[in-house]
Amino acid sequence: MEKLLTLTELATLLGVSKQTIYNRHCQRLQLPPCIKLGNLLRFKRTDVESWLNSQIETDSAPIIANAIIQPARRLERLKKAAQIVSRADKRGAL
């Protein structure tokens, strides 16, 4: 039986944080197949290697289906002084 990789070992191997792996697991995003032992996640080295090989892009076009869409950023609020000026301008225009 092969040795299972811990979450820390996988994070080091992939160059990401442990929290990133937890987030991907919870959101069911791309991650090598895992084995759940109680509350612990473990990964077979052969599964990780085959998953990494499958992640190599053969086409130069980006894969849009697996892209994470970032939420739209909120518009910046005006500074207090700018709010006062805009209110004064509105009152003067009325």
- The pLDDT-based confidence of 43 (bands split at 50, 70, 90) is very high
Express each pLDDT in 23-41 by its tens digit. Answer: 888 888 888 888 888 888 8
b/e burial code for range 57-73 (CB count within 10 A of at least 16 → b): eeeeeeeeeeeeeeeee
pLDDT band of residue 42 (cuts 50, 70, 90) is very high
Give pTM, 2 decimals.
0.56
Dihedral angle computed from the Cα positions of residues 38, 45, 54 and 68, in that order, rounded to the nearest 10 degrees: 40
Average pLDDT over the chain reads 79
Q: Read off the pLDDT of each residue in 75-87 and give the average, rounded to a whole number.
A: 76
What is d(CA 70, CA 47) in angstroms, rounded to the nearest whole number?
A: 29
Nearest to 55 by CA among 30, 20, 35, 22: 30
Residue 53 scores a pLDDT above 70: yes
pLDDT-above-90 percentage for the chain: 13
Domain 1-56 class in CATH: alpha beta
